[in-house]
Amino acid sequence: MDKIKMLIVDDEVNICELIGLYANKEGYESTFAHDGEEAISLFKKENPDIIILDIMLPKKDGFEVLKEIREESLVPVIMLTAKGETFDKVKGLEIGADDYMVKPFEMKELMARVKAVLRRSGEKEEQSDDEVKLGDLKINLTTHEVTIKDEVIALPLKEFELLTFLVKNKNKIFSREQLLEKIWGYDFACDSRTVDVHIKRIREKIEGNGNPWKIQTVWRVGYKFEVK
């Protein structure tokens, strides 16, 4: 079996080497980049299975790097921030990050999150050949492709998982905390606004055009995928 390839992007060489050390122990093959331009170059050259991406980088910051990556790939990305500010966390999620960690962090926790993100992305795992259908909306669980009236809708991993869960449980109400637990599946160090950010992005991509369904906000409770 081919090793899972991890691209680690941080301008601090010792952080890259430390993450790489733990990644190698877990059986991953790691490559380092120390600025934004090098990160984009190695992303295109190495085609990594997962990216650990610091926000504060020379030449291009992590947000710029993530935007360029999302133009052509849904590869899982875990962002690192030294600030721990809500703005950084929310902005990263809005652009398409799958997870984030605030420095300083425990390497064991980072590896746990890497495993969780990869597990959910289906990397190196067998997938069923199921497809979820709801009118013109089709969700392919094997290819992670979402189409509406045969138009492909690009969704990063967490958006895909959240939409799939809500569609499978249409007309059922879930709190933000329940959705965090169901989709992220572990002690995700974030407030419920994480869910709000992902719901907002999904709505922008799938709602409208006379579709007989929408993601409904249930005041003081949470959300439901409402089918009329």
The model's pLDDT over 68-100, given as tens digits with 9 standing for 90+, comes to 988 878 788 999 987 665 666 677 777 788 888
Q: Are residues 74 and 166 in the same domain?
A: no
Q: Are residues 160 and 100 in the same domain?
A: no
Domain of residue 147, residue span: 131-227
Instruction: State the total domains in the chain.
Output: 2
Q: Are residues 151 and 111 in the same domain?
A: no
Binned at pLDDT 50, 70 and 90, residue 128 comes out as very low
Q: What is the CATH number of the domain that holds 137?
A: 1.10.10.10
Looking at the domain assignment, is residue 37 inside a domain? Answer: yes
Looking at the domain assignment, is residue 207 inside a domain? Answer: yes
pTM of the model: 0.61
Binned at pLDDT 50, 70 and 90, residue 189 comes out as low
Contact 19, 7 (CB under 8 A): no
Q: What is the pLDDT of residue 122?
A: 58
Q: What is the pLDDT of residue 29?
A: 94
Looking at the domain assignment, is residue 221 inside a domain? Answer: yes
Binned at pLDDT 50, 70 and 90, residue 188 comes out as low
Q: Are residues 194 and 112 in the same domain?
A: no
More confident residue, 150 or 39: 39
Q: Are residues 117 and 136 in the same domain?
A: no
More confident residue, 1 or 195: 195
Q: Are residues 141 and 117 in the same domain?
A: no
Q: What is the pLDDT of residue 66?
A: 92
pLDDT(158) > 70: yes
Q: Are residues 27 and 116 in the same domain?
A: yes
Q: Are residues 155 and 217 in the same domain?
A: yes
Q: Which of 79, 159, 66 is nearest to 121 (CA)?
A: 159
pLDDT(116) > 60: yes
Section 138-164 average pLDDT: 89
pLDDT(102) > 80: yes
Q: Are residues 74 and 145 in the same domain?
A: no
Exposure b/e, 155-179, CB count within 10 A at least 16 = b: bbbbbbbbbbbbbeeeeeebebeeb
Exposure b/e, 182-197, CB count within 10 A at least 16 = b: ebbeeeebbeeebbbb
| Cα distance between the two ends of the chain | 46
